[in-house]
């Protein structure tokens, strides 16, 4: 079966997920065409995952399909955008039909879950590499930027942090977790957080009314909060005891749990800044999804329990050219 047939068989169903989609020309022409609703801006982001760098060699293709789209959709969440469609540039060493079937299954489940229609793509031969561009829409001027944080704003994060980072310690053994291991359920929990990140799309949309800045935590809280601080030209103080960590992570990693929360980002939670007044006025259902971990301050730099962290993304960031998978 040739490239064209494989693509048709496994990916075309993903182009027909949403009848109400703004995609008016989907895969199969030189370009796709999207009609952005009047009064809306187009919001888009491209992300690449490379085998052996961003996911383990031999990673399950259905997990990979989910994860690839989740990672990209998380950027839409951070801007508060409504998801619309995506393109996929898939580079594969060989056209393995079983792999494509499982990958497209995971990708399709994610697309359905996030409200994203496949608009187009390119399939090529080469080392396993996936680039996904996601498109969303937001009312004109309504996208949440990184640059809006102001001194006095509260720093909030969604969910719990560090779980997926801890999962990296258990990934090679993912298939043979010992059922007698009393930590098996906890390991399963953090592994699931790694395999199936849930981009905070609804939360991001809700934050549009309240947040002054937002970012998705893809590289770790320290690195990503630093991006907000630099873009907004402010600083922040964080209380370590307030950083939300799951009971499973604490049982697995003890006092190191907070380190995972600070330095790993594979959970794809959101970090946002909100003025005190907005926070007070925010509805309970929104507050329940967020934890206040600190405050924005006029003096630049990031302080943890009062101690300054070396500033700048070099010291704290995830750097793809340095990291080992």
Site for a copy of itself in 101-120 (CB under 8 A): 119-120
Q: Is 237 near a copy of itself (CB under 8 A)?
A: no
Q: Is 32 near a copy of itself (CB under 8 A)?
A: yes
Residue of 143, 203, 262, 272 that binds a copy of itself (CB under 8 A): 143
Q: Is 89 near a copy of itself (CB under 8 A)?
A: yes
Which residues are paired to 55 by β-bridges? Answer: 51
Residue of 115, 121, 162, 197 that binds a copy of itself (CB under 8 A): 121
Tell the burial category of 204 from Cβ atoms under 10 Å away from its Cβ (0-12, 13-18, 19+).
buried
Neighbouring residues of 34: CB distance < 8 A, sequence distance ≥ 6: 22, 23, 24, 42, 84, 85, 119, 135
CA 53 to each of CA 63, 72, 324: distance values in angstroms, whole numbers, following the listed order: 16, 16, 7
Q: Is 28 near a copy of itself (CB under 8 A)?
A: yes
Q: 83 with 202: CB under 8 angstroms?
A: no
Q: Is 277 near a copy of itself (CB under 8 A)?
A: no
Q: Which of residues 59-88 bind a copy of itself (CB under 8 A)?
A: 75-76, 78-79, 81, 87-88
Closest contact distance (angstroms) between CB of 190 and a copy of itself is 24
Q: Is 127 near a copy of itself (CB under 8 A)?
A: yes
219 is in an annotated binding site: yes
54 is in an annotated binding site: yes
Q: Tell me the DSSP string of 139-196.
A: ETT-PPPSTT--TTPEEEEES-SSHHHHHTTTGGGGGG--TT-TTHHHHHHHHHHHHS
Nearer to a copy of itself, 224 or 295 (CB): 224
CA distance 63 to 51: 13
Count of residues engaged in binding a copy of itself, rule: CB under 8 A: 73
202 is in an annotated binding site: no
Q: What secondary structure letter does DSSP report for 2?
A: -
106 is in an annotated binding site: no
Q: Is 322 near a copy of itself (CB under 8 A)?
A: yes
Q: What phi, psi does 309 have (nearest 5°)?
A: -95, 140
Q: 313 with 223: CB under 8 angstroms?
A: yes
Q: Is 215 near a copy of itself (CB under 8 A)?
A: yes
Residue of 21, 26, 47, 165 that binds a copy of itself (CB under 8 A): 47
Q: Which stretch binds a copy of itself (CB under 8 A): 13-21, 28-36, 258-266, 280-288?
A: 28-36
Binding residues for Mg(2+): 30, 45, 47, 75, 122, 216, 219
């Amino acid at each position: 079966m040739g490239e064209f047939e494989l693509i048709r068989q496994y990916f075309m169903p993903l182009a027909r997920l949403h009848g109400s989609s703004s995609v008016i020309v989907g895969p199969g022409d030189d370009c796709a065409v999207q009609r952005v609703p009047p009064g809306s801006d187009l919001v888009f982001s491209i992300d690449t995952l490379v085998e052996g760098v961003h996911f383990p060699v031999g990673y399950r293709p259905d997990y990979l399909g989910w994860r690839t789209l989740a990672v990209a959709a998380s950027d839409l969440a951070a801007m508060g955008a409504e998801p619309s469609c995506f393109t996929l540039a898939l580079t594969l060493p060989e056209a393995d039909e079983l792999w494509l079937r499982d990958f497209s299954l995971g990708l399709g489940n994610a697309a359905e879950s996030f409200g994203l229609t496949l608009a187009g793509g390119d399939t090529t031969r080469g080392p396993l590499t996936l680039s996904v561009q996601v498109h969303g829409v937001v009312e004109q001027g309504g996208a949440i930027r990184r640059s809006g944080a102001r001194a006095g704003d509260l720093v909030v994060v969604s969910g719990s942090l560090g779980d997926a980072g801890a999962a990296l310690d258990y990934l090679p053994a993912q298939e043979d977790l010992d059922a007698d291991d009393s930590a098996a359920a906890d390991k399963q929990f953090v592994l699931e957080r790694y395999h199936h990140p849930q981009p905070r799309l609804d939360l991001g949309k809700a934050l549009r009314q309240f947040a002054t800045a937002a970012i998705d935590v893809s590289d770790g809280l320290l690195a990503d909060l630093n991006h907000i601080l630099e873009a907004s030209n402010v600083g922040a103080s964080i209380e370590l005891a307030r950083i939300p960590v799951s009971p499973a992570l604490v049982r697995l990693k003890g006092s190191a749990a907070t380190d995972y929360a600070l330095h790993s980002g594979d959970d794809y939670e959101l970090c946002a800044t909100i003025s005190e007044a907005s926070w007070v006025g925010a509805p309970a259902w929104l507050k329940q999804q967020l934890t206040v971990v600190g405050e924005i301050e006029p003096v630049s730099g990031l302080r943890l329990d009062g101690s300054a962290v070396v500033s700048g993304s070099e010291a704290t960031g995830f750097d793809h050219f340095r990291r080992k998978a």
